[in-house]
């Protein structure tokens, strides 16, 4: 499912803001108001509106038609339905295999939208709506988009590629999500606390130590679960999704031509 120019621009702008939202602790000074915490959550909560605008831009660009939107709704509903099965236990997130395979089958543009809508719909279903939702939406959108950008492969090679990608993406998800709340989690008095205005290298070392100390077990559980689910389901699920895509002809472009007048009937 190709992405048009408007879709590329929308994804690029949204991703740029997403990078700024996750990476602001390494950029601000010691006297910045964002270091107080409350203003940061209010500002970054507005990213939810930016994600919605990005989805609308992709629709307006013609990247997705009504049939693609229907498929998006189905996969988002499936992802939302399977997410409570893990309930966050030991970092297990079953919905990741859905968005990875959806992004792989239908391309990076569809994957970006799928990751966003899947996390948003699952948050509504589970009651987990809060200031962390825009960050989860961005992280999941990048994961599903990355699956669509992986190199071409087939058969067992494709399954192995997707399983390995799922494990790496699961670790990356935990890392960036920790970055979203690390500045507010510990206060200023520990050796792994965020220090506004400190050199980037020093804060980065503290952050990696925080991630290792608090989240490694969760990240391993998420990575193993995602890799196993992708490995078990990739071949049949991708086959079904690609068959549905061929029959729906998502990438078919309508052509309009003047009507050809009917030939006059021949007289006997």
**In this predicted structure, what is the pLDDT of residue 99?**
92
DSSP-derived letter for residue 202 is H
The domain limits of the chain are 5-248
pLDDT band (50, 70, 90) for residue 162: very high
Q: Is the dihedral of CA 227, 233, 239, 241 positive or negative?
A: negative
- CATH number for the segment(s) 5-248: 1.10.1760.20
Closest C-alpha to 134, from 206, 45, 15, 212: 45
Q: CA 54: distance to chain centroid?
A: 13
34-81 per-position pLDDT tens digit: 544 445 455 556 666 776 777 777 777 666 667 778 888 888 888 888
Residue 31: exposure state from Cβ atoms within 10 A (0-12, 13-18, ≥19): exposed
- Is 41 or 236 the better-scoring residue by pLDDT? 236
Q: What is the pTM of this model?
A: 0.81
Give the whole-number percent of the chain exceeding pLDDT 70.
78
Q: Are 141 and 112 in contact (CB under 8 A)?
A: yes
User: Are 104 and 169 spatial neighbours (Cβ–Cβ below 8 Å)?
Assistant: no
The answer to whether residue 174 scores a pLDDT higher than 60 is yes
Selection from 22, 36, 17 nearest residue 204 by Cα: 22
Q: How is residue 215 written in tokens?
A: 């989240």
Mean pLDDT of 15-23: 83
Nearest alpha carbon to residue 101 among 27, 168, 24, 162:
162
Sign of CA dihedral 95, 173, 164, 70: positive
Positive or negative: CA dihedral 9, 11, 13, 19: negative
């Amino acid at each position: 499912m190709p992405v048009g120019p408007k879709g590329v621009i929308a994804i690029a702008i949204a991703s740029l803001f997403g990078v700024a939202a996750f990476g602001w602790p390494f950029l601000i000074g010691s006297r910045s108001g964002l270091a107080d915490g409350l203003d940061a959550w209010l500002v970054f909560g507005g990213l939810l509106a930016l994600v919605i605008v990005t989805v609308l831009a992709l629709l307006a660009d013609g990247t997705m038609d009504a049939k693609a939107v229907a498929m998006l709704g189905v996969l988002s509903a499936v992802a939302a339905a399977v997410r409570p099965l893990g309930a966050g236990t030991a970092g297990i997130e079953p919905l990741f295999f859905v968005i990875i395979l959806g992004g792989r089958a239908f391309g990076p543009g569809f994957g970006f939208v799928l990751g966003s809508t899947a996390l948003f719909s699952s948050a509504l279903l589970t009651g987990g709506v809060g200031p962390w939702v825009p960050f989860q939406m961005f992280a999941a959108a990048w994961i599903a988009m990355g699956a669509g950008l992986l190199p071409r492969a087939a058969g067992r090679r494709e399954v192995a590629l997707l399983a390995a990608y799922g494990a790496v993406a699961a670790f990356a998800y935990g890392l960036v999500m920790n970055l979203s709340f690390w500045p507010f989690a510990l206060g200023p008095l520990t050796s792994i606390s965020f220090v506004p205005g400190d050199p980037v290298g020093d804060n980065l070392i503290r952050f990696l130590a925080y991630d290792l100390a608090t989240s490694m077990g969760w990240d391993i559980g998420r990575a193993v679960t995602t890799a196993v689910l992708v490995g078990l389901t990739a071949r049949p699920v991708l086959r079904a999704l690609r068959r549905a895509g061929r029959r729906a002809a998502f990438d078919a472009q309508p052509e309009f031509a003047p009507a050809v007048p009917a030939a006059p009937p021949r007289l006997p």
